[in-house]
Chain A
Amino acid sequence: MKQGQFEQLYQPLWHVMELEIIELEKPDGRLKGSELASFASRYRRLCHFHALAKDRHYSSHLVDKLGDLVVRGHQQLYRRKQPFMQQFTSFIVAGFPRLVREQQRYVWWATALLYVPGLLMFLAILWQPDLVYTVTAPEQVSSFESMYDPENRTLGSARESDTNVQMFGFYISNNISVAFRTFASGIVFGVGSIFFLVYNGLLMGAVAGHLTNAEFTQTFFTFVVGHGSFELTAICIAGAAGLKLGYALLAPGNLTRKESLKRASLIAIQLVYGVIIMLVIAAFIEAFWSSNNILMPWQKYLVGGFLWALVIGYLVFSGRSLRGERGQG
């Protein structure tokens, strides 16, 4: 068959196809169910035309045009479903805690990398107060001092709601960015995640130790106990996701490093979803609850303890199936 005949005979078919593909490519494209139902079979015919055109060495113009339609049709036919909202609830209730338990090896490592240096730094500063200057600048130390000085209660009692909103914005952008960096830098064979975890641990231990020395314990610990549950745990999980990327590169097993990294990322990114949710909650608590100084310290410790129990209980128990059956996670 001559190319001209071929085009004349089948052009209407691929013209219809092109219109459909354009419609599908629009974010709000509307095609009827019947049209969609026959899309796959029509797409296969299109592939057939493309193959024929190539095999018969028709002009590169025609082959490219059909090839372009095949690419675009392929993208629409095989595009992955994104049932984001439907899965959202089941992810929070079961998927995420299951995933954390499944990856607990990394989570424990990340937890250790955050808390062990933190605790050592805390104890070291109780013993040698000047060690605080090894991890923080003097100006930073004095700003922390004035923040938690019981004498100037800027931290709270009469803080206005719009200040709370401002701090909420700050916590969101700051904390989630820290978590993202902790995660992302894990791809450098885990080194980045380890660095961020240890560094944040040291900083935390230094501030806690210094303020304990300064006897500001009450203002400091009542402030951090509430949101710490969500925030610190989220940072640990972000670090764990980063460590997973790094470990996948270091020890790919029977896979190529590229494939191993790809598979690990698929799991790690889901951990990051959970981290984002936890940090939004943490920022909310930090801005609107932790800063509130009207409450008695024992009330804040009580609620803080409850929140810690909630986070740990959620990660340990949520999503386990009843009656001892094993969950699919």
Chain B
Amino acid sequence: MLLDTRQSLETPEGALLPLTPAGFGVRVLAQLLDILIRYGIVTVIFIALSLLGRMGTGIALILAFLLEWFYPVFFEVTRQGRTPGKKWMGIRVVNDDGTPITFGPSLLRNLLRFVDFLPMLYLTGIVASLCNRQFKRLGDLAAGSMVIYEAPPAREPSFEVRGQLPVPADFSTDEQRALLAFAERSKYLSAERRSELATILLPVIGSKDPVIAIKQMANTMVGKQ
């Protein structure tokens, strides 16, 4: 059973797209960043254009209006669903079917932001996003969009151990995956924890240093020397 929030979406090719919806915490941070950027720009605009007198004020008002309602729309449509704040936080907006968000849905979800904000501080949006599995606020529900985490760029595996060791033939595929996962994640574990976990397998592997043995088996599985 999976305990994480990952959702799978089946494509016409039969592949399952793994999408990880982003919860309100990270989205609030992204929104805060966007607000800071937006207000920064608006301040600069008003200061610069106030030099032009009333005409400048008029132009500044229009620009401020555009920034208020269309800043997220512009970035979401032209930057594959990422406003600067979202990009910073590693999230982006997609349509329900996993495709990049388009103009209509983007405008809709950003207009409905007004309702999601009510009564204060996005309370409606937060409550709504906690009521469904994709963390959709009202704007997302109406527009058929969702906010997902960007997949982190994949790295070459390096298990910091040379040499190969055959994997025992009676290991099931799930058990093999467990070995691989251990080897891939072992650098995030402390040395004590590493050996504690690896020692569980000691009776099966029968090696002096089970950590190295497992990593060598992982080398065999990914075809590394």
- Given A64-B151, A162-B53, A172-B61, is A78 in contact with B104 using a C-beta cutoff of 8 Å? no
**Is B181 part of the binding interface, using a Cβ–Cβ cutoff of 8 Å?**
yes
Residues of B within 8 A of A184 (CB): 111-115
| Cβ-defined contact, A173 with B61, below 8 A | yes
A65 to B223, CA, bound (A): 16
Residues of A within 8 A of B174 (CB): 57
| Cβ-defined contact, B69 with A75, below 8 A | no
| Cβ-defined contact, B61 with A262, below 8 A | no
- By secondary structure, the A interface counts as helix
Q: Which of B104, B115, B180 is close to A60, meaning CB atoms less than 8 Å apart?
A: B180
**Is B160 part of the binding interface, using a Cβ–Cβ cutoff of 8 Å?**
no
A184 to B118, CA, bound (A): 11
Question: What is the interface size of chain B, counting residues whose CB is below 8 A from a CB of the partner?
Answer: 63
- Given A71-B151, A180-B114, is A51 in contact with B15 using a C-beta cutoff of 8 Å? yes
| Cβ-defined contact, A162 with B108, below 8 A | no
A43 to B54, CA, bound (A): 56
The 8 A CB mask of A172-185 against B (1 = contact, 0 = none) is 11001100110111
- Given A57-B177, A172-B65, A181-B114, is A165 in contact with B59 using a C-beta cutoff of 8 Å? yes
- Given A71-B18, A180-B114, A262-B142, is A166 in contact with B54 using a C-beta cutoff of 8 Å? yes
| Cβ-defined contact, B180 with A173, below 8 A | no
- Given A165-B55, A166-B54, is A60 in contact with B184 using a C-beta cutoff of 8 Å? yes
A8 to B62, CA, bound (A): 57
A78 to B138, CA, bound (A): 25
| Cβ-defined contact, B59 with A187, below 8 A | no
**Is B141 part of the binding interface, using a Cβ–Cβ cutoff of 8 Å?**
yes
Taking CB atoms and an 8 Å cut-off, the chain B residues in 97-154 that contact chain A are: 97-100, 102-105, 107-108, 111-115, 138, 141-144, 151, 153-154
Interface residues of B (CB under 8 A from A): 11, 13-15, 17-19, 53-55, 57-62, 64-65, 68-69, 77-80, 94-95, 97-100, 102-105, 107-108, 111-115, 138, 141-144, 151, 153-155, 157, 173-174, 176-177, 180-181, 184, 218, 221-224
A-B contact list, 19 entries, CB within 8 Å: A44-B13, A57-B173, A60-B177, A61-B180, A71-B151, A75-B99, A79-B102, A82-B102, A166-B54, A170-B58, A172-B61, A177-B69, A184-B111, A184-B114, A187-B115, A187-B142, A262-B143, A265-B142, A269-B105
Interface residues of A (CB under 8 A from B): 2-5, 7-8, 25, 27, 43-44, 47, 50-51, 57-62, 64-65, 67-68, 70-71, 74-75, 78-80, 82, 84, 160-170, 172-173, 176-177, 180-181, 183-185, 187-188, 192, 245, 258, 261-262, 265-266, 268-270, 272
